[in-house]
Amino acid sequence: MENSALKWWETAVIYQIYPRSFQDSNADGIGDLPGITSRLDYLAGLGVDAIWISPFFKSPQKDFGYDVSDYCDINPDYGTLADFDELISKAHALGLRIMIDIVPAHCSDQHEWFEESRQSRTNDKADWYHWVDPLPDGSAPTNWLSFFGGRAWSWEPRRQQYYLHNFLPSQPNLNHHNPEVRNALTDVARFWFDRGVDGFRLDAVHTINGDTAPYQNNLANPDFVPGDLPQQQQPFFRQLHDSAQLNQPAIQLFSEAFRAVADEYEDRFLMGELHGDDPVLASKTFTAPGRLHATYNFNLLAWAGLNVTEMKDAISEAVVAFNSTGRLTFAFSNHDVPRSGTRQLEPLGLAETDQEALQLLLLKLETCLIGSTCVYQGEELAFDDVRDIPVEQMQDPWGIEFAPVFMGRDTCRTPMVWQEDAPQGGFSTANKTWLPIATQHLKRAGLDEVKRPNSTYNAYAKFLKWRKKQAAMMTSNTMSELSGEDHQIVFDRISDTQTLRCCFDFKTLTATFEEI
């Protein structure tokens, strides 16, 4: 059971940085790579093991970096390759590993690969994307829908064909059936590994498409029940996507090729973001031998939050499948969902005054579970979700579409603040930032909280320092079944030399630990 030689990622606490909102270094109101470098001491002081940086590659920014136009260069908003090299050098000197966010399923329609591919049916990149003839009546080849609304197929007049996009029309899906596409992406992996990157978070790998025509329609979802906003997603969830569109078996040609490249280097980590009609089955498939090391788990990321029973069920489902392994990564927040300290209040029956204590409890809980953990920037400061962004200042196209009823993802993406008494909270010296500074966050600004002994930052830093000394958490990935009263989550972390009982009480908002 006990193995002191666990790989670093099997127990890692990974801090997610949304670079546009972390720290601006050049007064343009947008966070950048030199800004991240300037705050690495803050992260090392917190005690995290690694940093995951959301995309900073060249991009028209229609989906804020998840639409890549060049996988091997830096978007000018964020700096240069030299800036990245300096960042990784300082991070490694501080004992921090660096993970970056690769988008393997799709790219931007402004990528040179797609610009060439769309011109004709005979060019060198003609089959690098999913091009399909219309049905006899001229309509799209299948009933597949986009995550962001509408059909997943768009018409290209030059080729007189449809192309596939699981997200925006400006994000065409790469054709992973073509080995040249897989080779191009493994070349991207080597480019960044050679620069010293320690791992990749692989975006939406379940949306990779590698099957070939004739494409099949998705089946209807018999369990679909219409719900509240975001209604833009509701038509999408009327279908069972694993029946045809997503989690295709051919995806594993990519995961195996990418793993082979990672294995050419020492201690490199591949974490895949995925979902599916059966997420546990999908995760098992993606982490089978010779594929990805771990999958980024969505069980605790429910948009409306979870009550204690639902949290227990969500954790148990994942742990039952992956106990005694490091093949899971848990998270309570990220750049796509409301902040956990806010969205968890209502289902747990708590008041706004409980938010700071709740956030610390959630941080401790997620970092006591097996596998690795992703902590989203600002969680260590107990930031709440920002619900008062003026519509005219919103940036997320999803939120703009439905505001003010639904505010989209800007609410968790506002810039970090570092000093209450500094202009723009210390994020930038620009007169205007890309999203407005959240004034409610100023009372918990990062550098101020480092100096406050009882801050969430310092309490969590103290906890992470203690955690690193616990054999049950650091030398084994085994835990018991969950138990406890209705307001508690209780489990044991177990190694050959220690059994540690962990109790998280959502009535008192405290965590207790006892060796048994």
Catalytic residues: 203, 264
- Element holding 163 (H helix, E strand): strand 161-164
Q: Which residue, 294, 289, 108, is CA-closest to 199?
A: 294
Report whether the peptide linkage leading into residue 404 is cis, meaning its omega lies within 30 degrees of zero.
Answer: yes
Rounded CA separation 41/259 (Å): 31
Q: CA geometry: angle at 457 spanning 454 and 462, to 5°? A: 75
Rounded CA separation 129/1 (Å): 46
Q: How many CB atoms lie within 10 A of CB 285?
A: 20
- In which region does residue 141 sit, left (phi positive, over 0), alpha (psi from -120 to 50) or beta (all else)? alpha
CB burial readout 337-347, b (16+ within 10 A) else e: bbbbbbbbbeb
Instruction: Order across the sheet with 488-494: list the strands.
Output: 478-479, 488-494, 499-505, 510-515
Q: Which residue, 286, 279, 297, is CA-closest to 254?
A: 286
Helix (H, G, I), strand (E, B) or coil at 90: helix
Q: Which residue, 143, 201, 129, is CA-closest to 171?
A: 129
Angle, to 10 degrees, between the axis of helix 251-262 and the axis of helix 179-194?
A: 30
Rounded CA separation 51/44 (Å): 10
Rounded CA separation 488/510 (Å): 10
Rounded CA separation 19/242 (Å): 32
3-state secondary structure 208-222: CECCCCCCCCCEECC
The torsion angle over the Cα atoms of residues 454, 460, 463 and 467, rounded to 10 degrees, is: -170
Rounded CA separation 271/207 (Å): 15
